[in-house]
Amino acid sequence: MTSTLLIVQIILAIAITIVVLLQKSSSIGLGAYSGSNESVFGAKGPTGFLAKLTFTLALAFIINTLALGYFYTQESKSSVADKIVPKNNAVVPAAPVKTPSTPAAPQAPATK
């Protein structure tokens, strides 16, 4: 399931990138390609359509990200830190256990 969601995530990322680059900006950018096709998208041109498409793709991207995170945590119960092996393959010692006893106070010198 996670591999399917990961593929969808990559496709959504590419689609969002393309749609954002097609939008008009102050320096025109790649929006120059949409000049002759304004009648296809309506009276406002592609601006409204591309804005709605960007919002829809972004919403799908966020929902897919949350689903991917949820399904990944359901499949994997261990942490990445649990899989770390030291370079010398030594066993990592456990933390020392502190005893609640306090050291004895020094004895007063005996008087003669």
Neighbour tally for 72: CB within 10 Å: 13
Q: Domain residues of the chain, as ranges?
A: 2-77
Per-residue pLDDT of the chain (112 residues; tens, 9 = 90+): 888 999 999 999 999 999 988 887 655 555 555 554 445 555 555 667 888 899 999 999 999 999 998 888 887 777 777 777 777 766 666 777 776 666 677 777 877 6
Interatomic CA distance for residues 19 and 54, integer angstroms: 6
pTM, two decimals, is 0.54
> Tell me, what's the pLDDT at 40?
52
Instruction: Measure the CA angle with vertex 78, ends 73 and 81; round to 5°.
Output: 115
> Tell me, what's the pLDDT at 38?
47
